[in-house]
Amino acid sequence: MTGMAPGAAIDFWFDFASPYGYFMSETIDALAAQHGRRVRWRPVLLFAVLRTLELPAPLENAVKRDYMQRDFERSARFLGVAYRLPDGFPATTQHAARAFYLLERDAPETAVPFAHRAMRGYFRESAALGDLLQVARWVAEAAPQMGDAESIAGLIAADTPKALLADAVQEAVRARVFGSPLVVIDGEPFFGVDRLPQIEARLAGRLAPSTL
């Protein structure tokens, strides 16, 4: 027993440009709901977290990069998720992540729908995830009450969303988020979309909490 309520939220850390994070985003909410849990989505700038943790970027080495590009496509097929390596991969993700935290504060029910739009647009149609105005358009679609895309772009680029994202990055460093996706259940980290079978077993009570 960890002393935490059995229904405590699950943390889902990811970077908007992470294929494995996208694959996880397509399944984690439904899986958690089956076990009476909700999910707290936490997008971060993975490169900033890794730099602080003194870890190299995941695509830095050509041998691993070649393997991963192959594995992205194969894992998408295996998991049944629509996917195509985006043009200009990987995109910068600060606008998308700032927009998420802006919505979380001002229109919280729209933050996850926005995140789905952004990742599906990027990983299915090579939409310009790194472009502020494209991100603002996704916000306008998910949260029409926020205004039109041009005015939303101004909101995203303001100081407050920047500060909210900086806070999330600091929290990720404290939580030792060394990759995307990283799912935390009652304090126990699970790294990678390939940990889905263990996450499912853990939530179903078939895999005991790790005591380390």
Name the residues that contact a second copy, by CB under 8 A.
Answer: 53-56, 61, 63-64, 66-67, 69-71, 73-75, 77-78, 176, 178, 188-189, 191-192, 194-195, 197-198, 201, 207-208, 210, 212
User: What is the spatial distance between Cα 149 and Cα 136, in angstroms, rounded to a whole number?
Assistant: 5
- Minimum CB separation of residue 150 from a second copy in Å reads 40
For residues 29 and 71, which CB has a smaller minimum distance to a second copy in the complex? 71
- Minimum CB separation of residue 20 from a second copy in Å reads 12
- Minimum CB separation of residue 82 from a second copy in Å reads 16
User: What is the spatial distance between Cα 187 and Cα 149, in angstroms, rounded to a whole number?
Assistant: 38
Residue 14 forms beta bridges with which residues?
43
- Minimum CB separation of residue 61 from a second copy in Å reads 6
For residues 49 and 132, which CB has a smaller minimum distance to a second copy in the complex? 49
For residues 141 and 171, which CB has a smaller minimum distance to a second copy in the complex? 171
For residues 2 and 61, which CB has a smaller minimum distance to a second copy in the complex? 61
For residues 54 and 159, which CB has a smaller minimum distance to a second copy in the complex? 54
For residues 30 and 212, which CB has a smaller minimum distance to a second copy in the complex? 212
- Minimum CB separation of residue 212 from a second copy in Å reads 4
Output 137-145 pairs: Cβ under 8 A, ≥24 positions apart: 138/99, 138/114, 139/99, 139/102, 139/103, 139/114, 141/114, 141/117, 142/103, 142/110, 142/113, 142/114, 142/117, 143/103, 143/107, 143/110, 143/114, 145/107
Q: Which helix (H) or strand (E) holds 99?
A: helix 94-106
- Minimum CB separation of residue 45 from a second copy in Å reads 17
SS3 string of 13-74?
EECCCCHHHHHHHCCHHHHHHHCCCCEEEEECCHHHHHHHCCCCCCCCCHHHHHHHHHHHHH
Does the CA dihedral 121-127-132-134 come out positive or negative? negative
